[in-house]
């Protein structure tokens, strides 16, 4: 039985939160504005704080731990993984939001949920999976759309529109000097935007200023951190950073993060938009182009792409066949469809076979993906003997 707090104390806590949020900036988003698809009883948590708890307790969030950021085939415990990246985005965004008088609960929920939909092997995996999805007639694969699908459709956490919109529109890869919120969106607008992105539309701006803060914080969190990772693995040297970038922003992560946070706060103070100064925005744009050329598109980083693509294609086809053949002992049933029945019993009936395969592969960690390939295509080695008992126990385990 779920315990409820005393009614008189509940009202006091509710008014305490309202008083706390009354001190926020007029352009902030109050917890009372949170909109859900299905109405719910209130509890002691403000609506966006409740969303943060749900995201953290989702199965998708748990799998952040073994999803890599950029360097997916480098064995180095100090390389950034997704779980650290989203924590950095949350910390940076909350610092900016606190300084500007925005709602930190909303910022935290968006930040912690924004990359849940990333496929294994980072942006390389995303591009490969997108190509295969298009070939199978289900549109492009976009990790931000998949994040919303994971939280709103697969696990059905009934999050607020403001949080899901911020996750959907967090695209930190684009470059803009100014981010102005697209206020007043509805659930219909949100659902249409998802379909547009699947068809190739780059998407819109978030509906809240908090969402805009997370979007720019995504860039702040990775631009210098990826540089440090690249230096650590010997891919580039620090003195290769373009001179203007080093002078205006810095060439060490701590200086880069500090410069960008301060610049955002100074240029967004008491404004209904989030902005960088012109000088810093131009230097950041050059820094991004430098990272793409020297890190993300470096042949050394991408030397295994052909093998990864073959793996994605083999796995996609294998699981598509398993669904069509109703092969109930397949991993796609046991580790995906059957596993989420408690959250969404109608998932398999409402989702096409190709979309189910997309969802399953997108949710995999790098290690689980590799282990699955081993199980599917590599013969198992037995110790000492091969018995019927071994055979049947393996069937039960796998």
| Domain range 7-296, its CATH number among 1.10.3210.10, 3.40.50.150, 2.30.40.10, 3.40.50.620 | 1.10.3210.10
- Angle CA 125–215–144, to nearest 5: 35
Give me the residue spans of the domains in the chain: 7-296, 306-397
Tokens (6 digits) for 36: 């859900």
Beta carbons of 13 and 5 less than 8 angstroms apart: yes
pLDDT at 1: 65
Q: What one-character-per-residue DSSP string does 189-232 give?
A: HHHHHHHHHHTT------SSHHHHHHHHHHHHHHHHHHHHHHHH
Distance from C-alpha of 361 to C-alpha of 369, rounded to nearest angstrom: 8
pLDDT at 395: 47
Number of H helices, E strands in the chain: 19, 2
The pLDDT profile of the chain, 398 residues, written as one tens digit per residue, is 677 778 777 788 877 887 888 899 999 999 999 999 999 988 888 999 999 999 999 999 999 888 877 766 666 667 777 888 999 999 999 999 999 999 999 999 999 999 999 999 988 999 999 999 999 999 999 999 999 999 999 999 999 999 999 999 998 567 889 999 999 999 999 999 999 999 988 889 999 999 999 999 999 999 999 999 999 988 999 999 999 999 999 999 999 999 999 999 999 999 999 999 999 999 999 999 999 999 988 888 788 889 999 999 999 999 999 999 999 999 999 999 999 998 899 999 999 999 999 999 999 999 999 999 999 988 777 666 656 555 555 544 44
3-state helix, strand, coil in the chain (%, to 5): 60, 0, 35
pLDDT at 82: 83
pLDDT at 356: 98
């Amino acid at each position: 039985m779920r315990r409820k707090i005393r009614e008189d104390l509940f009202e006091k806590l509710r008014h305490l939160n309202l008083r706390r949020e009354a001190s926020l900036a007029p352009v902030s988003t109050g917890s009372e504005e949170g909109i859900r698809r299905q109405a719910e009883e209130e509890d002691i948590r403000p609506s966006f704080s409740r969303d943060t708890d749900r995201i953290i307790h989702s199965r998708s969030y748990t799998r952040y731990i073994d999803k890599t950021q950029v360097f997916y085939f480098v064995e180095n415990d100090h390389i950034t993984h997704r779980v650290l990246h989203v924590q950095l985005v949350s910390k940076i965004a909350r610092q900016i939001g606190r300084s500007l008088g925005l709602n930190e609960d909303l910022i935290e929920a968006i930040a912690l949920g924004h990359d849940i939909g990333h496929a294994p092997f980072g942006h390389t995996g995303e591009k490969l999976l997108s190509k295969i999805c298009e070939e199978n007639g289900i549109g492009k694969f976009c990790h931000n759309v998949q994040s919303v699908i994971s939280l709103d459709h697969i696990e059905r956490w009934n999050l607020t529109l403001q949080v899901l919109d911020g996750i959907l529109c967090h695209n930190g890869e684009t470059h803009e000097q100014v981010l102005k919120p697209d206020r007043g969106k509805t659930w219909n607008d949100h659902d249409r935007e998802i379909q547009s992105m699947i068809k190739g539309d780059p998407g819109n701006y978030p509906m809240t200023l908090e969402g805009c803060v997370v979007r720019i914080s995504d860039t702040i969190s990775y631009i210098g951190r990826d540089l440090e990772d690249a230096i650590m693995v010997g891919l580039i040297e620090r003195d290769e950073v373009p001179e203007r970038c080093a002078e205006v922003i810095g060439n060490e992560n701590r200086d880069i993060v500090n410069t960008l946070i301060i610049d955002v706060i100074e240029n967004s103070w008491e404004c209904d938009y989030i902005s960088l100064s012109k000088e810093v925005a131009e230097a950041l744009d050059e820094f991004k182009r430098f990272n793409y050329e020297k890190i993300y598109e470096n042949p050394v980083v991408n030397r295994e792409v052909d093998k990864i693509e073959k793996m994605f294609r083999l796995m996609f086809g294998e699981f598509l066949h398993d669904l069509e053949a109703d092969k109930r002992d397949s991993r796609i049933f046991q580790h995906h469809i059957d596993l989420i029945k408690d959250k969404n019993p109608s998932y398999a009936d409402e989702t096409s076979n190709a979309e189910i395969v997309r969802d399953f592969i997108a949710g995999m960690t790098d290690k689980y993906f590799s282990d699955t390939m081993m199980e599917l295509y590599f013969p198992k080695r037995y110790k000492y003997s091969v018995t019927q008992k071994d055979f049947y126990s393996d069937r039960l385990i796998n």
